Amino acid sequence: MSQPATTLAATKSRHARQGGLKIALVFGLAIVVALIAPHLFASGFGLSLLNRMAIAIVFALSFNMLLGQGGMLDFGHAVFFGLGGFATMHLLKWVDGGLPLPVALLPLAGALGGAFVAVPAGWISTRREGTAFAMITLGIAELAVALVVMIPQWFGGEEGVSGDRSGGMPLFGFDFGAASQIYYVLAFWALIAAALMWGVTRTPLGRLANAVRDNPLRVDFLGYDPARIRFLTFILSGFFAGIAGGMQALNDEILTVSNIGSQASGAVLLMTYIGGVGTFSGPIIGAVLITLLQMALGTLTDAWQLYSGLIFVAMVLWAPGGISGIIRSHAPILRGGLGGRLLAAYLALLPAALVTLAGIIGLAELAYRLQAVRGGGKPGHLFGLAVSPTTPWQWLIPLALFLFGAALLSRLAPGARAAWQEAAAFAAGRRGR
């Protein structure tokens, strides 16, 4: 309390230096990972997975700039992503036609396109907050889709607009035609965009966005117009979503209406929320994980969409902080050396959870295969067993598993929750003393 001001200031600046060092380390590590990754996943599938992840990371971070940082749920975020992509694509076509610009710089056009569209959209939507804001963005998204469909001259109608990324000026001898080459362009933009978005959270506007998220009324009485803060944040977010769209344009070399539609907007909400909206790293975790799951499970099962919906609802119900929230709430427990006790409590849940999961998967797969059979397809195998969805008793097994598992889980869950709360309280108490 009565600490002399000089030592106080010195402590603070040492804290700041340590913070800066930590951030430099994290970004250094990210660069190293970005450089090593393509050598670890050098297959065509691996590279296309990495490229998608890079795009998803930027898109999800731009989405969380609104949702997590500013408390704004944008149901039409793909509008800025997609229209930024279209802007990039048109420029790419000019580049193909001889405009002397390096292809690697084109995502910037996406950024400008995204921000440009975000100005009128934000002007309408950011005057409201909360639920009303979310609904207005939904209307704007529908309007954007309708307009894009209406003007095939600009947006290519059903076929979309396509270009050729290798048709431009080579840079240092690379034409970026190969997936392994475009990867470095995408990784570069992902790192730059992530670093910039992290930077924004440390600026006056970034902090004001948090303030407006938490208590817009009070912000108004501290000299700032909350609507103006939302508006500026919205434009910035559109800017970064546009970069992601530009990356998408370069990666896929084609853009269609589906890139601006509700599915794309839903996907970014899904990955951001599952990763966690409460931290900067949450959307990154979500983007990496969901992209991976989508590409891995998407080829294995038709039920991927249903599973992702179920995961999402489960997260909303039981882990609103997402994966990063789970990590954050367990970090002090692990640091406090209480992980062992908690692990035992969690392990006790595991069999019940697995049984429930098996039941859900069984039911979903049977349902999807029933549909396939009706359509004249083959039911195939599940867990190595031949399935026949038209046989009623085959439904009873997963149903029984699900009911039994769920009943068991609901009996065991309070115990695990109590163990967690106890450990968290203990860890907090230990740190506080």
Closest CB to other proteins among 48 and 215? 215
Least gap, CB of 424 to other proteins (angstroms): 13
Q: What sign does the CA torsion over 6, 11, 17, 23 have?
A: negative
Least gap, CB of 84 to other proteins (angstroms): 19
Single-letter amino acid, residue 129:
E
Q: How buried is 414 (Cβ within 10 angstroms: 0-12 exposed, 13-18 middle, 19+ buried)?
A: exposed
The site that binds other proteins (CB under 8 A) totals a number of residues, namely 78
Closest CB to other proteins among 98 and 432? 432
Residues 303-342 touching other proteins, rule: CB under 8 A, are 305-306, 309-310, 312-313, 316-317, 320
Residues 202-261 touching other proteins, rule: CB under 8 A, are 202-208, 210-211, 213-215, 217-225, 228-229, 232, 236
Least gap, CB of 345 to other proteins (angstroms): 22
Q: 155-191 burial, b for 16+ CB within 10 Å, e for fewer?
A: bbeeebbebebbbbeeeeebbbeebbbbbbbbbbbbb
Least gap, CB of 44 to other proteins (angstroms): 30
Residue from 166, 180, 262, 388 touching other proteins (CB under 8 A): that is 262
* Residue for token pair 């009303």: 132
119 scored as a contact of other proteins (CB under 8 A) = no
* Residue for token pair 């500026």: 232
406 scored as a contact of other proteins (CB under 8 A) = no
Least gap, CB of 312 to other proteins (angstroms): 5
List, in order, residues 6 or more apart from 89 with CB less than 8 Å away. Answer: 161, 162, 163, 249, 254, 255
Stretch that binds other proteins, among 106-114, 285-293, 370-378, 391-399 (CB under 8 A): 370-378
Phi-psi domain of 27 (left: phi exceeds 0; alpha: psi -120 through 50; beta: other): alpha
* Residue for token pair 């794309």: 264
Least gap, CB of 160 to other proteins (angstroms): 16
Closest CB to other proteins among 11 and 391? 11
Distances (CA, A) of 419 to 202, 320, 415, 422: 36, 19, 6, 5
Residues 41-70 touching other proteins, rule: CB under 8 A, are 67
Closest CB to other proteins among 79 and 249? 79
Q: How many CA atoms lie within 13 A of 177 on its CB side?
A: 9
Stretch that binds other proteins, among 55-63, 78-86, 283-291, 301-309 (CB under 8 A): 301-309
403 scored as a contact of other proteins (CB under 8 A) = no
Tokens of 418: 């109590």
Residues 139-168 touching other proteins, rule: CB under 8 A, are 139-140, 142-143, 146-147, 149-151, 153-154
Distances (CA, A) of 79 to 143, 182, 243, 270, 432: 10, 24, 12, 16, 46
- 250 close to 38: Cβ distance less than 8 angstroms: no
Count of beta carbons in the 10 Å neighbourhood of residue 323 = 19
266 scored as a contact of other proteins (CB under 8 A) = yes
Least gap, CB of 322 to other proteins (angstroms): 11
Stretch that binds other proteins, among 41-49, 102-110, 135-143, 178-186 (CB under 8 A): 135-143
Residues 5-24 touching other proteins, rule: CB under 8 A, are 5, 8-9, 12, 16
- CA gap 413, 419 in Å, rounded: 10
Least gap, CB of 373 to other proteins (angstroms): 12
Closest CB to other proteins among 106 and 274? 274
Stretch that binds other proteins, among 91-99, 125-133, 291-299, 330-338 (CB under 8 A): 125-133
- 233 close to 72: Cβ distance less than 8 angstroms: yes
Least gap, CB of 43 to other proteins (angstroms): 31
Q: 203-218 burial, b for 16+ CB within 10 Å, e for fewer?
A: eebbebbbbbbeebee
